[in-house]
Amino acid sequence: MVPVTIYQKKSSMYFSITSSSNNRLKISRSLHSRSYIMKHRAFLMEGSRFIADYLRNSEPKWIILSEEATPASRTVANDASEAGIDVLEIPPKIFSEISDTAHSQGIIAVCTLPEIRANELKPEGTFLLLDRISDPGNIGTIIRSAAAFGCSNVIMGEGCCCPFLPKVSRGSAGANAKVSLLYDIDLPSFMMRHSDKCTFIGAEASGGSIEQIRSSTGSIGIVIGSEAHGISEEVRDRLDGTVSIPIKEGVESLNAAVSASILLYIAKNQ
């Protein structure tokens, strides 16, 4: 028998769990893997501020709370409980098996994976296309910048890192639950389908003037390639132009996240 104590906490339930064999905890631990994120259609979000923000518009599947959670985290857990969301309170050792943060605040939300279909997407305004960017930190920062600068969509090609890994959630400050994300997309095919309505501009060190972005009208897709390989040939063949961000001579080129952030800022203020 798995030890579980159920007790009322205002209008919902807190579950005091002392065994790591609990099924919901097993699922939670598995959500560090892309395959299990897809299997369970769920992802982890950690941190009281990010979860409080998520609760304003969405409802997680459940909340995991450490017995050593901070007061701020307990407040968020109480708010979730009052909204009818189950809170699983567990010992710190079991919590650390799920947490991805070195100095955790003691709260994790298991969130439902957003469902967006490529054939339902209507690219408009400024949006991003990411080509084979595999670093979770870069992906997280790009998504955070996309939210900050009003980017309508982030479209991630095949070979990109999963946008719902815990490191991406942390790097994006929870914005991966806000921004419209498409992943595992065949970018050349997508660009071909929308070529009559969108202009596609790639970021490359040998590219032209960023005035192409400032002077563009209509929808514009900014394409960012991986730092190791740049934009793939198949995607480059579908570009309408390329731009380069001017930097001081002798300085190493900007990483993908910084480049995307600067170009989104320029597009927003054109």
Torsions phi, psi of 78, nearest 5?
A: -65, -40
Between 9 and 119, residue with greater pLDDT: 119
What is the pLDDT at residue 31?
98
CATH code 3.30.1330.30 region(s) in the chain: 4-112
Cβ–Cβ under 8 Å, residues 163 and 137: no
Mean pLDDT, to the nearest integer, of 184-199?
94
Tokens 């104590």 belong to residue: 5
**Beta strand pairing call for 12-17 and 181-185:** unpaired
DSSP state of 61: S
The 10s digit of each residue's pLDDT in 124-152 is: 899 999 999 999 999 999 999 999 999 98
Mean pLDDT, to the nearest integer, of 196-203?
94
The 10s digit of each residue's pLDDT in 55-68 is: 999 999 999 999 99
**Domain 118-268 is of which CATH architecture?**
3-Layer(aba) Sandwich (3.40)
The 10s digit of each residue's pLDDT in 206-221 is: 899 988 888 777 899 9
CATH code 3.40.1280.10 region(s) in the chain: 118-268
CATH top-level class of 4-112 = alpha beta
What is the pLDDT at residue 61?
97
Q: Of 50-54, 103-107, 153-157, 253-257, which range is least confident?
A: 253-257
Q: Of 14-18, 58-62, 231-235, 247-251, which range is least confident?
A: 247-251
